[in-house]
Each structure stands twice: as structure tokens, then as C-alpha cells.
Structure 1
Amino acid sequence: MAKNRKVILIITILYTVLILYFMFFAFGRIGASHQITEYEFIFTPLDFYHVPDLTDLFRFSLMALFGFGNFAAFIPFGFLIPMLFPMRYVRFITLFFLSIMVVETVQMLSYLGSGDINDAIQNSIGASIGYAAYKLGSNAKTIKKQLVISGFSALFIFAAVWGCCEVIETALTKKEGPFIAINEVKDASGNTVQHTAPYRFELGREQVLPQYNVFSFKEQTAAVYTSELRGRDIILYFKYGATGKLGGTLAISVDGQQLLLTEAPTYQEGTAETYEIPIEKANKLTITVKGNARLWDLGYREMKYFWN
């Protein structure tokens, strides 16, 4: 028994050194530390439930590797520590979490990483998986059976936790809805934006045929268009260019706050610019077009939770 304990202790020390190496020195941390000028510590648990997609793992994405490692790399501690120092789960996870927070703080103070409570939570979830698997296999009569049962249990529990995290992330993450042309949106009176029917025009030497709408003006003053979005979280999409030698300007504001003021490319440039602008809690959208500017295929995708 003493011999087995000695072997487990050596394995624990070596594995701990390996983990600390990856946390402090791997992935170019030393070189990156010279570019860090201030401490960064994330105190608020925000995305500890985030897990990489399986497709990302198969592509060996570095960020996916980090996300996977934050859980999986700490599972062995759930086996090794209780085998060395038998203790109840509450005491085990409390000591483990505090230890990880110390490591995260040292990472921050040494500029070899940022302190992040989300990483500490993910590490602790991994250790909890290992602890649960260890307990499930601890009643086996032989060490071989104990390792087999614990190993398969760890895989099963890890898959279950991964699936739960996917469900939580899906429930708490907004996704883009279908594209809605702005001229299809009705205001409180049931009216839509007028004088925006699509028509063919020339941009530089190319013919442009908008699919949904065109915002422009044919008078001596600027054309102003307004639309009611009723507090939606959206991503605004549109294309923008100028059809004449003098160019033009575009201004976009939401609820009186200006989001964009830009000049259109000139006739000589003959190019169009494509924009994607995220806007939160949008109510009144105001578009102001001057000069020979053309704004077309203006619309948005609403950011929604899946249950909406």
C-alpha cells in the first residue's frame, strides 16, 4: 500500500509540473508577456459553460484546444488527490478551487496570462468529474478494475457535462435570425418606409441591381428615412456607394445617437462598401443620404434566443 501511495505521489507531482508548465510557459506566453502592460483579472463568471464545438477540435484550433484542456486536463486531479488524501467532496473542491485561484493570480501578476474566474470554474468542473469517477470505481476489489471503472465513468460523465454545457450555451446565446429588409418593417401606424423601391443604377463601370431596396435622394436637400425597430437587438446590413463624380455622404443614427458618418467612394473609385453594424435595443433608426450616394439592400438580422 505504501509503495502504491509513493507511485501515486510521484505521478501527481509530475502531472502537476506538466500542467504548470502549460499554464505559465507554453504557447508563447513568455514572449507575449513583454507586450502586456497592465494586470487583467476577470472576476465575474460569464462564459464558464462555453465549450468548443467538436468540429473545432477535429481542426485542432488553438482556442478549441484551450477550451477542451480547461476541462479535460484537470480530470486526473480528481483521481490522484483523493487517492493520496482521502476527503469529502466539499473539502476537496474548495481546496482545489482556492489553489487554482492562486495559480490564476500568479499568472496575472507575472504577466504570463490573465486571471480568470471562468477558467478556475472550468478547471474545478474537470476535477469534479475526476472525483465522481474515482468514487464510482473506488468500491472495486482490485486496482485494475478500479481504474477501468473510473476511466469509463470519467468519459461518460465528461460527455454528459459537455452536452449540458452545450445546452446552457445554446439557451443563453443569441443567434442571428433571418434577414429582414428595412422597407418591410411597419411602424406603429402600419406604414413602411416609402420611396425605397429597388432600381438599376451604375456604380463606376458596373451595373448594380439591388435586391431589396435603394435609399437615395433627387432633390437639393438630404433625404431622411426613419424606421421603428421597437427595442430589438440587431445587426444592420447594407451596401453603400456613390454614382457621381462628387460622391456623397451617409449618416446613420439610432435613438438620436450617431452610429456612422461617412463619405461614399467617388465615381473614379467605382467601389461599394459593405457594412455590418451591431446595435442593441434599437428603437428609431434614422438614415440620412446626401449627394450622389446610394444605400441599398438595407436590412437587419435580429439577435434572438432560440425560444424567441
Structure 2
Amino acid sequence: MLQGKTRTAAWIGFGLYTVLTLFFLFVGFNRSSALPETGLRYHLVFDGIPLRFPGDGYSNLWLFNLGNYLAFVPFGIVIPLLIRCRFLPFLLVFLAAITGVELVQMLTQLGAFDINDIVINTLGATVGYGAQRLVRRDRTTQRGLLKLLFSGAVLTLAVYSGVSGLNHYLDYGRGEVIALDQLPLEKGELRWEPKLNGFTAAQERIEPAINLYSRDNPRSQEFSLRLDGQFKEFSGNLAVPDDVISAASSGSSRVIISADGEEIYSMDLNIVPGENQPLSFRVPLEGKQELTIAVFNDAADPRTNAVFWDLTLIEANAGQKLMARIHQLFYSSKG
């Protein structure tokens, strides 16, 4: 622990830093005018620790979240130097304090109660505590303080890199690619062509490689598959073949893709010569329990039917499946 004038100076610096931190939490960044909506705001679902690499598609948030993490590292370093405390009491008191701050932010409508903020703030303080525990001797000397700063920087960088790498895995990692024709249907019927014969659409040659939706399927139909939160993405291709379109053909084909009863993607194809260009699609399915595909054809010619090919589902990786289960358990408990 710090002693004498060094201790007094540390208390003064710690007090000023705490006031500055509270200022930014409640007043800084023009909060009073940036939050025009009324009512209490809160977010109680844990979405993971929001630390990510700058190039991961979170350019507007990564710096804010990094600051939210770094700002609380000094608390973990300085408090044990001023007050003798073991890790568990330190952690519990810090959790209570930061939870209180989040509640005040919500009640004053100068912010929101966010469980993810509590986690990232606590992580920062925990890293700071771990950094000061790495330096066991001479912590009150100038050399010891430099060691504290160095260990804090190294541990902070290591944890940030580790968490960001984990988030990259959860955001962009993927499991096995599974052909749709290999999965059982929960509702409806679906026929697949036994041979992957090629065809043309808008004079473009198409060569299916994985599967091919049969033209013998009803022109308008609906079928569903059970996902159970195990899949990350649904992708494939859609077209009306040239050989079922005559010079006098007109109308359109429409496909609606729904997940858990909510429409999430739709496609429309013109049944007109030269205007039946093939379409490709990729639909995110994170955490979804059921996938439903509805096909509608309104062409007068009974031969006209849209066809899919190379329909696949990409499995979520182990981490994504775990997060989907956590979210499902939370929402089911709320219901």
C-alpha cells in the first residue's frame, strides 16, 4: 500500500479521476441533448463483451467501447494501493458501485441501464487489479510505479486482443455447410431433381453443383424446416428458366423467406423473355428456430415455375450455438 505523501497525492488524483469519469458518464458527450426520447431505457440481455477489432464492421462503436474498457482499468490498479482488499470483496464492491451508476443513468434519463456496460467496466477494473498484483515488490517506488504501468498496459492489451479475437470468432466464424436437400422438412413437401441438369436463364448458362429444386413442385407452395438456433446463414440461387418462358409470357414469381413467423427476405422475378435474370441471396439466421419458404407463381402458362439451386444452410459454430441457447433461455424465462 502507498504511504505518506505518495498516498495523499494518490487519493487526490484518484478523487479527481473519479469525478472526471462521472462527468463523462452523466454530462459529457452532450448527453442531455443527444437523448431526446422520454422513458426509462434499459438493456438486460448479455450480448457478449463488446470489444472488437477496428476492422470488424463496428467502426462507429469500437472506440467508444474501448474507452469504456480502458477508463476503468485505473480503478483496479489504484484502489488496492490505497485500501488493502482481496479480489472478491473488491469485485463485489465495484459491481455494486457500477450497477448503481447504471441505475442512476437510467433514472435520470441521461443514459441507459445496460448489462453489457456493467460487464465491460468490470472487466477493465479486473484487468487493473490483476496488473497491480503482478508487481509484488517496490510498488511505492518510481521504478515500481513504472512496472505497474507496464504490467497494466501489457495485460490490458492481452485481454483486449483475446476478447476481440473471441468476438471475431462469434461474429464471423462458421461451421459446416449443409445442403438443404439433406435436411428433413417440418411442414410441407419438397421435390428435388435426381440429376443436376443445367439450364439457361436470361441467356445465362446455369450449372447447379449441389442441388436443384424440381419443376414438378407445385407452382405455389410453402415448406418449413426446424433450425433450433443451429444455423448462421441460408443461401442459394433463384431463376425462371428460359425454356418455360414464351414470347407472350407475362407475370412474376415471388419468394418470401420467413424465420420464426416473421418475413426477413423476399425476391421477385419477372416472367418475361430477357428479364428473368437469376438472383442470388444470403439470409442471416442467427438464433432462429424455424425457416419457412413460400413460393408464388402467377404466370398463365402452367409450365412456368421458378427453380432454386445450390440451396445451403451454414451451421453456426460452437460459440454461436451457445450464445443462441443463452438468448433463447433468457427470452423463454421472460415469457
How high is the TM-score relative to the length of structure 1?
0.73
Distance 1:158 1:302, change over 3 A: same
- The whole-number CA distance in structure 1 between the counterparts of 2:141 and 2:58 is 34
2:288 is the alignment partner of 1:280: yes
The aligned residue for residue 326 of structure 2 is: none
The aligned residue for residue 301 of structure 1 is: 314
Specify the code of the residue in structure 1 equivalent to 2:230: D
The aligned residue for residue 52 of structure 2 is: 52
Distance 1:137 1:232, change over 3 A: closer
* Alpha-carbon distance, 1:260 to partner: 7.0
Distance 1:273 1:159, change over 3 A: closer
Distance 1:136 1:270, change over 3 A: same
Residues 191 and 214, structure 2, Cα contact 8 Å, conserved in 1? no
* Alpha-carbon distance, 1:40 to partner: 2.7
Which segment is superposed worse, 132-141 or 171-180?
A: 171-180
- The whole-number CA distance in structure 1 between the counterparts of 2:305 and 2:25 is 53
The aligned residue for residue 207 of structure 1 is: 204
Specify the code of the residue in structure 1 equivalent to 2:43: I
Match of 1:233 among 223, 230, 234: 230
Residues 137 and 146, structure 1, Cα contact 8 Å, conserved in 2? yes
**RMSD, matched Cα:** 4.1
Deviations 1:228-287 (A, max 9, x none): 6675733222344556521123355789x685796724357756473515273458x665
- The whole-number CA distance in structure 2 between the counterparts of 1:6 and 1:286 is 69
* Alpha-carbon distance, 1:65 to partner: 1.7
Match of 2:76 among 53, 78, 99: 78
Pick the structure with more strand per residue. 1
Distance 1:141 1:11, change over 3 A: closer
Specify the code of the residue in structure 2 equivalent to 1:156: V
Deviations 1:127-171 (A, max 9, x none): 122223334435307521221221222233334434654676578
- The whole-number CA distance in structure 2 between the counterparts of 1:265 and 1:307 is 34
The aligned residue for residue 249 of structure 1 is: 254
Which segment is superposed worse, 259-268 or 78-87?
A: 259-268
2:268 is the alignment partner of 1:264: yes
- The whole-number CA distance in structure 1 between the counterparts of 2:263 and 2:312 is 16
- The whole-number CA distance in structure 1 between the counterparts of 2:150 and 2:265 is 59
The aligned residue for residue 13 of structure 1 is: 15
Give the length in aligned residue pairs. 295
Specify the code of the residue in structure 2 equivalent to 1:201: T
Residues 174 and 303, structure 1, Cα contact 8 Å, conserved in 2? no
* Alpha-carbon distance, 1:114 to partner: 1.7
Q: Give the percent of matched residue pairs that are identical in Structure 1 and Structure 2.
A: 24
- The whole-number CA distance in structure 2 between the counterparts of 1:260 and 1:8 is 55
Specify the code of the residue in structure 1 equivalent to 2:10: I
Distance 1:74 1:4, change over 3 A: same
What 5-or-longer segments of structure 1 have no aligned partner? Answer: none
How high is the TM-score relative to the length of structure 2?
0.68
* Alpha-carbon distance, 1:99 to partner: 1.4
2:140 is the alignment partner of 1:152: no
Specify the code of the residue in structure 1 equivalent to 2:11: L
What 5-or-longer segments of structure 2 have no aligned partner? Answer: 299-303, 322-335
Specify the code of the residue in structure 1 equivalent to 2:53: D
